[in-house]
Amino acid sequence: MQLQYRAAAAAAFFTQFFYGMIIVMVYHAFYASSTAVQPMSLQQAVTYTWLGQVTFRLLPWNSDREVLALVRSGNLAYELCRPLDVYLIWYCRLVSIRVVPAMLSGIPLFSIALLLPGSFGATLPVSAAAGAAWAISILLAVLLSCALSNLATVTTLWTIAGDGMQWVFPGVMLVLSGSIVPLAFFPDGLQRLLRLLPFSGLVDTPFRFYLGTIQPHEIFSLGLLQLAWTAVFVLIGSRLLAAGMKRVVIQGG
């Protein structure tokens, strides 16, 4: 189903490329005007930016609109008739919503970013091991992202419209994950706290593997942290869904 939205993927490609170029130019201006020692080199910051644009659609910045519509319209009753686990269905839908559009727009975008001249383009991973660690970490980030999105979706069983959660949650996630400003630019004490929270596993952790600022062997400890947070949110989401289904009111009858 997701492969049918090719026009949307093309639109996402141009949007992310344009937005990425703006951020890259901001970094160029920032580094040119500052004499202080920065926690990342300009090339690392630029590569971080392009990685962020490529993987943006993997982040839990939205929920499954079709599921939200089911809750609002009362057609959720059809989900209850299926002899399948509702939480698992919603989770698998989110995986496809995250992965397929990201691949359709992200692969050509990163290919072009690698070809951009000088410090305006991205670089390859610092080593094959770093690239492998990044691939594993980004896969775990997808699982964590879908667990977070599903939790936000489940809350609509109580809020009906769910608009508040859909606006507040993405804003918090984008800031605390390092998607807008890399966590390396945050104060040291705050960095240590943010890197223990689940949001860092969405962006900061995978990107640091790619850039080589953390060693590939740390994938075991940091990957375990990503899995642990995923398990926590899956457990909370499934329990909330089970509780909500016991008292769900189908609108319209």
Give this prediction's pTM. 0.89
pLDDT tens by residue, 131-174: 999 999 999 999 999 999 998 888 887 776 666 677 788 888 88
Read off the pLDDT of residues 6-25 as tens digits, 9 standing for 90 and up.
677 777 888 889 999 999 99
**Number of domains observed in the structure of the chain:** 1
Selection from 125, 138, 166 nearest residue 223 by Cα: 138
Is 196 buried (19+), middle (13-18) or exposed (0-12) by CB count in 10 A? exposed
Within a domain: 251: no
Residue 73 within a domain: yes
In a domain, 108, yes or no: yes
Query: Is 166 contained in some domain?
Result: yes
Query: Does 241 reside within a domain?
Result: yes
Identify which has the larger pLDDT, 188 or 158. 188
28-56 pLDDT, tens per residue? 999 999 888 889 999 999 999 999 999 99
Tell me which residue of 92, 89, 18, 105 sits closest to 57, measured CA to CA.
105
Q: Which domain holds residue 205?
A: 2-246
Residue with tokens 């009753």: 77
pLDDT, one tens digit per residue, over 81-95 is: 778 888 999 999 899
Strand, coil or helix: what is 121?
coil
Q: Is residue 150 part of a domain?
A: yes
Q: Are 141 and 202 a contacting pair, CB within 8 Å?
A: yes
Is 33 inside any structural domain? yes
CA distance 97 to 91: 10
Q: Is residue 228 part of a domain?
A: yes
